[in-house]
C-alpha cells in the first residue's frame, strides 16, 4: 500500500484505460474511502452511481461534450450530492457533534440557524454550496485508486441536465463530477505545478 505522500505524488489524470474490468471488491474499497471523508456538520451528502455498462458510459461521454475517453473507462463513478440528504444529515450531524461536545452549544445554534436559511435557497444554489463536501470524497477515491494500480480523471465539463436525464434523477440530486476509472494504459509525466512561492499570499 502506498504512503499518502507517494499517492499524492504519483497520481495523474488518466485518460487512457485498459479494457479490463475493475473487480467489485476494489470498487467497494474506493467507495469506502469516500464514505470516510470529512464533511460540514458530518452531513455526508455525497452519493455515487456506479456505471459499467457500455451504452451508459457512451451516453455519459456524450453528456460531457463528447470527451470520448470517458466511455473507455471500465467504470465511471457519477459523483453527486443529495440535497435532501444534506439538509437532514446536517441537522442530525450538528446535533450529534453538540452531544459529544465536539463543538460548543452556541455553535450548534449558529449552525442550525444557517441550515435553516440554506434550506430556503433554491436547490441549484444549495447543490453548488455543498459540492465541496463531495469533492473531498471524490479525491479520496482518486488517491485510493492508486493502491490497486488504478487511475482516474476528474471530469467537470459536462451538461448536468443531460446526465440527470440519463438516470431520471429529480431536483434533489446535483452532479458534482464524473470519475472515469480503470487500469491505466498511459503513464503521463507530472504536469506543471506552481512553486511553493507562487501559492503563498504575501
Ligand X SMILES: Cc1cc2nc3c(=O)[nH]c(=O)nc-3n(C[C@H](O)[C@H](O)[C@H](O)COP(=O)(O)O)c2cc1C
In the complex with ligand X, which residue's Cβ is closer, 61 or 108?
61
DSSP state of 58: H
Q: Does 191 bind ligand X (CB under 6 A)?
A: yes
Instruction: Report the distance separating Cα 9 and Cα 115, nearest Å.
Output: 37
| CA nearest neighbour of 145 among 31, 9, 68 | 31
Compute the distance between CA of residue 150 and CA of residue 29 in angstroms, rounded to an integer.
Answer: 12
Q: What is the separation, in whole angstroms, between the first and last Cα of the chain?
A: 38
Stretch that binds ligand X, among 8-16, 53-61, 90-98, 167-175 (CB under 6 A): 8-16
Contact region with ligand X (CB under 6 A), list: 30-38, 74-82, 98-106, 149-157: 149-157
Site for ligand X in 41-100 (CB under 6 A): 67
> Which of 129, 139, 127, 38 shows the shortest CA–CA distance to 80?
127
For strands 151-152 and 75-82, give the pairing.
unpaired
Q: Is 157 in the site for ligand X (CB under 6 A)?
A: yes
Q: Considering the complex, what minimum distance in angstroms separates the CB of residue 106 from ligand X?
A: 35
Indicate the residue among 145 and 155 with the shorter CB distance to ligand X: 155
Q: Counting contacts by CB under 6 A, is residue 13 touching ligand X? A: yes
DSSP annotation of 19: S
Give the ranges where 38-122 is alpha helix by DSSP (H).
Answer: 54-63, 83-99, 105-118
Taking the CB of residue 112, how many other CB atoms lie within 10 A of it?
15
Q: Is 89 or 139 the residue whose CB approaches ligand X more closely? A: 139
Site for ligand X contains 160 (CB under 6 A)? no
Residue 154 interacts with ligand X (CB under 6 A): yes or no: yes
Question: Judged by CB under 6 A, which of 102, 116, 121, 156 binds ligand X?
Answer: 156
Q: Is 162 in the site for ligand X (CB under 6 A)?
A: no
Residue ranges that bind ligand X, judged by CB under 6 A:
12-13, 15, 67, 153-157, 191
Amino acid at each position: 500500500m502506498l504512503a499518502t505522500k507517494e499517492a499524492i505524488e504519483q497520481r495523474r489524470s488518466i485518460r487512457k484505460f485498459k479494457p479490463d474490468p475493475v473487480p467489485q471488491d476494489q470498487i467497494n474499497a474506493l467507495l469506502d474511502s469516500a464514505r470516510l471523508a470529512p464533511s460540514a456538520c458530518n452531513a455526508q451528502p455525497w452519493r455515487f452511481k456506479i456505471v459499467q455498462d457500455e451504452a451508459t458510459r457512451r451516453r455519459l461521454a456524450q453528456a460531457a461534450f463528447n470527451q470520448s475517453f470517458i466511455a473507455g473507462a471500465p467504470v465511471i463513478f457519477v459523483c453527486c450530492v443529495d440535497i435532501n440528504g444534506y439538509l437532514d444529515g446536517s441537522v442530525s450531524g450538528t446535533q450529534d457533534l453538540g452531544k459529544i461536545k465536539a463543538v460548543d452549544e452556541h455553535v450548534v445554534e449558529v449552525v442550525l440557524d444557517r441550515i435553516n436559511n440554506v434550506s430556503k435557497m433554491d436547490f441549484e444554489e444549495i447543490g453548488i454550496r455543498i459540492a465541496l463536501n463531495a469533492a473531498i470524497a471524490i479525491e479520496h477515491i482518486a488517491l485510493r485508486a492508486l493502491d490497486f494500480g488504478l487511475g482516474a480523471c476528474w471530469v467537470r465539463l459536462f451538461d448536468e441536465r443531460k446526465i440527470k436525464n440519463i438516470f431520471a434523477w429529480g431536483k434533489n440530486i446535483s452532479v458534482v463530477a464524473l470519475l472515469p476509472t480503470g487500469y491505466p494504459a498511459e503513464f503521463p509525466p507530472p504536469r506543471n505545478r506552481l512553486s511553493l512561492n507562487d501559492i503563498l499570499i504575501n
